[in-house]
C-alpha cells in the first residue's frame, strides 16, 4: 500500500493533475468552479480498491421507495460504465468503486482510475441531488 501511495503522490505533482493527497484520501478538483470529489484507496488482499461517495445514507435511504429508485438508477449506470461500479456500502451510502489487481497496476491505469471514479461519482451525485456535496 505504501508503494501505491507513493505512486499517487508522484502523479499528483504533475501540472495537469489537481489532486491533493492526505493519507489514503485523494481530493480531486474536477473544475475551476470548485467541484471536487474525494477518492479513498485501500488494499484488500491482492487488489486495490478505489471508493468515492455519491450519496450519504440519509439521502440515499430516506424512504424505501427512494432507495429502490436510486438502486435502479445505479444498476442502469453499472450496465453503461465499464470501469465504475455503483453500490450501497455497509452503511447504506451510495458509492462508486473500482477494484483492480495490485500486481499489475501501472501509472497510466492508476491515473485513469482515479480521474474516472471521481468524475463519474461527481456526475451521478449531481444527477441525484443537483449539488456538489462531497
Is there a domain that residue 60 lies in? yes
Name the H helices within 13-106.
Answer: 57-60, 64-80
Let me know: does 48 contact 42? Beta carbons within 8 Å.
yes
Is there a domain that residue 102 lies in? yes
Strands (E), 17-126: 19-22, 25-29, 36-44, 47-55, 85-88, 94-101
Nine-digit cell string for 26: 485523494
Kindly report the CATH number assigned to the domain that includes residue 35: 3.30.1460.10
Q: What is the pLDDT of residue 129?
A: 86
Is there a domain that residue 88 lies in? yes
pTM of the model: 0.87
pLDDT in tens, 111-130: 999 999 999 999 999 999 88
Nine-digit cell string for 124: 451521478
**Domain limits at 123?**
2-129
Q: What is the pLDDT of residue 88?
A: 94
Q: What is the pLDDT of residue 32?
A: 63
Q: Map grid coordinates 479513498 to a residue.
A: 40
Is there a domain that residue 113 lies in? yes
Is there a domain that residue 134 lies in? no
Let me know: does 8 contact 43? Beta carbons within 8 Å.
no
Number of structural domains found in the chain = 1
Q: Map grid coordinates 473500482 to a residue.
A: 98
pLDDT in tens, 54-110: 998 888 878 888 889 999 999 999 988 889 999 999 999 999 999 999 988 988 899
Amino acid at each position: 500500500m505504501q508503494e501505491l501511495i507513493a505512486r499517487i503522490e508522484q502523479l499528483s505533482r504533475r501540472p495537469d493533475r489537481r489532486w491533493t493527497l492526505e493519507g489514503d484520501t485523494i481530493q480531486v478538483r474536477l473544475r475551476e468552479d470548485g467541484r471536487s470529489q474525494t477518492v479513498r484507496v485501500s488494499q484488500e488482499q491482492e487488489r486495490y480498491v478505489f471508493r468515492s461517495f455519491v450519496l450519504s445514507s440519509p439521502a440515499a435511504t430516506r424512504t424505501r421507495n427512494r432507495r429502490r429508485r436510486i438502486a435502479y438508477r445505479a444498476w442502469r449506470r453499472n450496465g453503461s460504465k465499464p470501469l465504475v461500479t455503483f453500490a450501497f456500502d455497509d452503511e447504506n451510502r451510495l458509492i462508486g468503486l473500482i477494484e483492480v489487481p495490485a500486481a499489475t497496476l501501472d501509472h497510466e491505469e492508476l491515473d485513469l482510475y482515479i480521474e474516472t471514479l471521481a468524475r463519474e461519482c461527481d456526475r451521478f451525485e449531481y444527477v441525484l441531488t443537483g449539488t456538489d456535496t462531497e
